[in-house]
């Protein structure tokens, strides 16, 4: 399980770095700072896009989840989110510290 968390964490950190390079290139070309949001990433990669995601989340039982939470989460930069989630997964998947010293022999 820790191996899977570390592998996925490294993949997300690498994807975040690639996204940061792409966002930086786009910012240089446009002469303005611009980041790809999670909503923009979802709409370009998933065929249904945000409408399909909204219809699945904003059903009558989860209507409270869409407007205050998901709308704001989808506005976050995709590269920053990948860095944060990847760093969290690397932290969760880290190997335990081997005890050394006198107390470790007991």
> For the segment 53-98, what is each residue's pLDDT rounded down to a tens digit?
777 777 766 677 777 788 888 889 999 999 999 999 999 998 887 7
Look at residue 32 and tell me whether its pLDDT is greater than 80: yes
SS3 37: strand
Give the pLDDT mean for 11-26. Answer: 94
pTM over 0.95: no
Query: Are 51 and 11 in contact, with CB atoms under 8 Å apart?
Result: no
Which of the two residues, 104 and 68, has the higher pLDDT score?
Answer: 68
Task: Give the CA diameter of the chain.
Answer: 63
pLDDT of residue 106: 58
Query: Are 41 and 78 in contact, with CB atoms under 8 Å apart?
Result: yes
Give the pLDDT mean for 3-25. Answer: 94
């Amino acid at each position: 399980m820790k191996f899977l968390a570390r592998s996925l964490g490294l993949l997300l950190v690498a994807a975040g770095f690639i996204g940061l390079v792409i966002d930086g290139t786009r910012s240089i070309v446009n002469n303005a700072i611009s980041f790809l949001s999670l909503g923009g990433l979802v709409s370009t990669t998933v065929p249904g896009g945000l409408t399909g995601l909204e219809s699945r989340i904003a059903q009558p039982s989860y209507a409270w989840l869409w407007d205050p939470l998901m709308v704001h989460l989808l506005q976050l930069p995709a590269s920053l989110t990948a860095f944060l989630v990847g760093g969290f997964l690397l932290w969760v998947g880290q190997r335990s510290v081997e005890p050394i010293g006198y107390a470790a022999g007991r």
